Amino acid sequence: MFLLGVLAARLNLEFRGDPERKITGLASLASAGPAQLSFISTGKYLPQLLQASAGAVIVSLELADQCPVDYLISDDPYRSFALASQLFDNAPKPGPGIHASATVSPESEVHPSAALGPNTVIESGAYIGPNVILDAGVYIGRDSRVGEGSRIFPGTVLYHDVYIGENCLIQGQAVLGSDGFGYAPGVTGWEKICQLGGVRVGDRVEIGAGATIDRGALEHTIIEDGVIIDNQVHIAHNCSIGKNTAIAACCAVAGSTKIGANCTFGGMVGVAGHIEICDNAHFNGKTMVTKSVSEPGSYSSGTALMRSQDWRKSAVRFSQLDSMHRRLTALEKK
Amino acid sequence: MFLLGVLAARLNLEFRGDPERKITGLASLASAGPAQLSFISTGKYLPQLLQASAGAVIVSLELADQCPVDYLISDDPYRSFALASQLFDNAPKPGPGIHASATVSPESEVHPSAALGPNTVIESGAYIGPNVILDAGVYIGRDSRVGEGSRIFPGTVLYHDVYIGENCLIQGQAVLGSDGFGYAPGVTGWEKICQLGGVRVGDRVEIGAGATIDRGALEHTIIEDGVIIDNQVHIAHNCSIGKNTAIAACCAVAGSTKIGANCTFGGMVGVAGHIEICDNAHFNGKTMVTKSVSEPGSYSSGTALMRSQDWRKSAVRFSQLDSMHRRLTALEKK
Amino acid sequence: MFLLGVLAARLNLEFRGDPERKITGLASLASAGPAQLSFISTGKYLPQLLQASAGAVIVSLELADQCPVDYLISDDPYRSFALASQLFDNAPKPGPGIHASATVSPESEVHPSAALGPNTVIESGAYIGPNVILDAGVYIGRDSRVGEGSRIFPGTVLYHDVYIGENCLIQGQAVLGSDGFGYAPGVTGWEKICQLGGVRVGDRVEIGAGATIDRGALEHTIIEDGVIIDNQVHIAHNCSIGKNTAIAACCAVAGSTKIGANCTFGGMVGVAGHIEICDNAHFNGKTMVTKSVSEPGSYSSGTALMRSQDWRKSAVRFSQLDSMHRRLTALEKK
């Protein structure tokens, strides 16, 4: 619970209203009650603002006049709401200490302020920094490192030689440092190429539940500062992902691809291997990125949703497209 | 092992044949031997029925005459076969009790009939109902609940404030309650929106191995009664999935989307965020659901399988489709 | 570290250069220094070869003359490099023994040369062969088997009745033997079909992190010798995958599909259920395999990458393709 005046001070925002008002949580504009804080980021929600019964609303200067309840003025209400959500964060935060069931190598280094949950395993040579939280069942392989203030949720596995920077959040059941998919055709089958590189993750990186990031074949797979990666994303060996790039759920990036900074990927995008994507490239959901991209902008592939009976006809014609093109050209020549 | 007469009684079906026949298992019509039960659901398999050497076959009334072996008559042989499979279920079922290696908070409530396997972890405030089975390594976060008769297979993680109803089955390595992928553009990078909602799962829900269901940003992510979700499906924050909807493997549903009841999704379907899907909508495998769907029926997208050499030509023409259309229109005007 | 002469002997290759040269690791041609071994597999990298400062390079006989540094001659430099990577493998290999925190059923059989890491669980009837390594948190269900020389990385779950052959590698957080997605439409919802079969995995199979392989409904799901499967692949119940087939990341194969030997699947390929794929069929990334394939060759589906503004126009025209085709035919008739 925060008093409105305190909340405004914490968010560094001017406000209009009762500084003693008790704010106990956050809610959407449509559902917020008198003890809840909400926000309006675009004029699209103006009708909801006019009806608002929230305790207070974070608004832009332009919309402030029309707010029927207390408000806080922000030049970016959505970002201010994000900061407010951090004040109301309700995720359990275990205190420092090593659970009795943890297995910690005497040759590892664990900072006394770190929290190691039940059944965590820390191998030799590993380093766990100050204020790190490793939840139940997390595995940290040999010589791997987790930097100050990072948290790893239950079940996640870091193989050997995987470095996580500071203030990262890795959700449950992720895997970092698994072998890349490297094989040479052999005499009687595939010959494994042992994956000798590691993984290097920068600061303030977030990685989703069940995501997998393979170790490099010779050098490291690299995730730069500020990258956000959603659930079940796959990053193959030798990739590098540039600063602040955002990758939504279930994307897959094939091996040795270099992705620039500030890119965004919608869900289920597939990126071919051995290509380069420049900064500020954006890909709509389910796009197949078949080649390098050297110009910023928005990219797509695939076809849109149709009734199946209509889709079947279009799909048949798609297979005839080259023939249709030839027939069209022939007609034009007449 | 069941005697045929007993089996028929348990399935509540009339039968013709030797009530003392020993049935030790189930098999497909083509491979079933004299101690096995099989079924025929459509006339398509009639040739196999005529050759059947099964101990008994579940048949419809119309096909009963043509069955060369003992039979049970059902108005829905496939459903009766499902019920029979439950009688022959061979999955190990650990008895009540808490394994010595489990970590159970004294502030949690675990029903004495529940089975908690090796290395399970139950946090404070959690509730584990009667006859629940939590297999090895399952993690139940703070204040989460697992209702009577539900089973959770090894390694699955429930974060805090995740409720599972009664008689649910959750396969291994799933994650429920991980943070939704919510961020606001900040001054120097992404600003995290803490995910303050939980997950609410109804009764008789099944969730596949490696599936991830994110917690809500402000309210709960909701999975209604009877929903079945296959392996590696991703359900993003704030979604709701209506009763008895079936979602096959590797689908992804983006944030805040509302899906109705009795829908079916083939594998690898992607559903955009912030849309609504009505009841009884059906989506073929790999479809990209780019917009709301308000009418029941079958939907698709994408293109069908082609030889790569032919596909390349069609793919090039796809990129020229608008130009082809203009050329066609110009010809028509002549 | 190897002396060059020893390395050449171990790889069974002729070499030219200083047999006493110390080789401490592997690197790409562009970055290798004087203590590192590299390779050149195609003439495409000839400019890099001419500039090479590697300690030695694995080359084909044809390129040997142009190598400015010591070299080893191979009729398949890429395969020789794979073999060299195995000599330099740096993955930690725990020695024999059962960790104090492991839970091993007295009714299981664990070979004394096997290594069982922290928090591993072995259920009754299970068999763990010679020189097997089970890393931390691995779960082996009732009556399951892991053959000689296989390694399973942290967190992976084998349900009951799952057999792994010899010399397999299974990465972390994989699930083998989870229930197939089988249900019959019931009276008030879905009726579960209990999955009574198991999983049979051959020798020298590799399976990626987070992959899921469901158990069969009646018979077994089968992965034959030498198959390589990448991260987050899903193999549904009753499938069989033929020898040495390679399946890249995030593919999904629906139920009861039979895939032949020596096939390759790019990433994110989806394969429909109840179909057959012949030997030596190859599928480009993100292809939707909608039907059986009876002829070897390369197959594709989907559309290529476009600027979103152009893509939107093509996508609209795709939905009009059948109408365009009719208009074209009408013009031709005039």
pLDDT digits (tens, 9 = 90+) for C254-285: 999 999 999 999 999 999 999 999 999 999 99
Calpha distance B239→A194 (Å, rounded): 41
Residue in A closest to C243 by C-alpha: A189
Exposed, middle or buried: residue C180 (CB in 10 Å: 0-12, 13-18, 19+)? Answer: buried
Task: Tell me the per-residue pLDDT of B146-205, one tens digit each, with 9 for 90 and over.
Answer: 999 999 999 999 999 999 999 999 999 999 999 999 999 988 999 999 999 999 999 999
Calpha distance C169→C148 (Å, rounded): 11
Task: Tell me the per-residue pLDDT of C197-249, one tens digit each, with 9 for 90 and over.
Answer: 999 999 999 999 999 999 999 999 999 999 999 999 999 999 999 999 999 99
Interface test with B, best of C212, C311, C321 (most B CBs within 10 A): C212
Calpha distance C235→C199 (Å, rounded): 11
Interface test with B, best of C105, C135, C170, C218 (most B CBs within 10 A): C218
CA distances from B226 to A242, B247, B253, C185, C189 (A): 42, 12, 18, 11, 6
CA distances from C257 to A26, A253, B268, C278, C298 (A): 49, 26, 16, 11, 19
Which is it for the CA torsion A20, A23, A29, A34, positive or negative? negative
Specify whether the CB–CB gap between A241 and A259 falls below 8 A. yes
Q: Which residues of A are catalytic?
A: 237
Contacts of B228 in chain C (CB under 8 A): 181, 183, 190
Contacts of B54 in chain C (CB under 8 A): none
Residue among B162, B267, B263 nearest B222 (CA):
B162
Contacts of C207 in chain A (CB under 8 A): none
A to B CB pairs, distance under 8 Å = 242
Specify whether the CB–CB gap between C161 and B53 falls below 8 A. no
Q: Taking CB atoms and an 8 Å limit, are B267 and C254 in contact across chains?
A: yes
Q: Taking CB atoms and an 8 Å limit, are A119 and B121 in contact across chains?
A: yes
pTM score of the predicted model:
0.97
Task: Tell me the per-residue pLDDT of C62-85, one tens digit each, with 9 for 90 and over.
Answer: 999 999 999 999 999 999 999 999
Specify whether the CB–CB gap between B190 and A244 falls below 8 A. yes
Calpha distance A176→A211 (Å, rounded): 8
DSSP H or E run through C289: strand C288-289
Residue in A closest to B285 by C-alpha: A308
pLDDT of residue B151: 98
Calpha distance B22→A235 (Å, rounded): 53
CA C59, distance to chain mean position in Å, is 27
The CA distance from C86 to the nearest CA of chain B, in Å, is 31
The CA distance from B23 to the nearest CA of chain A, in Å, is 42
The rounded mean pLDDT for chain B is 97
Provide the Cα torsion C143, C147, C148, C153; round to 10°: -90
Calpha distance C77→B42 (Å, rounded): 56
Residues 6+ apart with CB under 8 A from B252: A232, A249, A250, A267, A268, B233, B234, B236, B269, B270, B271
Minimal Cβ distance to A301: which of C28, C206, C304: C304
Residue among A64, A6, A21, A2 nearest A39 (CA):
A64
Please pick, among B111, B234, B237, B282, the residue that the annotation labels catalytic.
Answer: B237
Calpha distance C139→B118 (Å, rounded): 10
Task: Tell me the per-residue pLDDT of B229-257, one tens digit each, with 9 for 90 and over.
Answer: 999 999 999 999 999 999 999 999 999 99
Taking residues B39-67, report their average pLDDT.
94
Contacts of A181 in chain C (CB under 8 A): 208, 228, 230-231, 248-249
Specify whether the CB–CB gap between C263 and C243 falls below 8 A. no
The CA distance from A43 to the nearest CA of chain C, in Å, is 26
pLDDT of residue B307: 97
Taking residues B63-73, report their average pLDDT.
96
The rounded mean pLDDT for chain C is 97
Calpha distance B14→A116 (Å, rounded): 60
Calpha distance B59→B298 (Å, rounded): 30
Provide the Cα torsion C21, C24, C29, C32; round to 10°: -90
Task: Tell me the per-residue pLDDT of C172-190, one tens digit each, with 9 for 90 and over.
Answer: 999 999 999 999 998 899 9
pLDDT of residue A237: 98
Q: Taking CB atoms and an 8 Å limit, are A306 and C325 in contact across chains?
A: no
Task: Tell me the per-residue pLDDT of C82-121, one tens digit each, with 9 for 90 and over.
Answer: 999 999 999 999 999 999 999 999 999 999 999 999 999 9
Query: DSSP class of residue B43?
Result: G
What is the complex's ipTM, to 2 decimals? 0.97
Q: What backbone phi and psi angles, to 5 degrees, belong to B92?
A: -60, 140
Minimal Cβ distance to B181: which of A89, A101, A230: A230
Taking residues A116-141, report their average pLDDT.
98
Contacts of A320 in chain C (CB under 8 A): 325
